[in-house]
Amino acid sequence: QVQLVESGGGLVQAGGSLRLSCTASGRIFSINAMGWYRQAPGKQRELVARITSGGSTNYVDSVKGRFTISRDSAKKTMYLQMNSLKPEDTGVYYCNAAIVVTWYPNDYWGQGTQVTVSS
């Protein structure tokens, strides 16, 4: 049973920082691309940042220069360093990963962690 568990969310004032973590566990052969998504109240879930197994990254325009995605393959953990947070960054942040258990990658999601930025 593969699981993704996020941590690090919370309440922060505008301009502050948070660091999210996502750790994969279970019977895992390899992890391909990983990503952070967020869903604000009343809005669709959107991709915030993505990182490939080779370390290539991409970000949604609204977080470029403020957020940094990284991963530690040995620890099966992905991070999202969020600086200069804005109220519009508020939402539930979900971890996503393409994980190979046997032959082909399957999509897995974490349970989500709440990030609230007060103005």
Question: Over the stretch 40-53, which tens digit does the pLDDT of each residue have?
Answer: 989 999 999 999 99
| CA dist., res. 102 & res. 104, Å (int) | 6
Distant-in-sequence, close-in-space partners of 74: CB < 8 Å, separation ≥ 6: none
Cβ 100 vs Cβ 32: under 8 Å: yes
Residue percentage of the chain with pLDDT more than 70: 100
Tell me what pLDDT residue 111 has: 96
**Mean pLDDT estimate for the chain:** 97
Residue 73: C-alpha distances to residues 61, 88, 93 (Å): 26, 30, 21
The ranges of the chain with pLDDT < 50 are: none
Distances (CA, A) of 42 to 48, 66, 91, 92: 17, 24, 10, 12
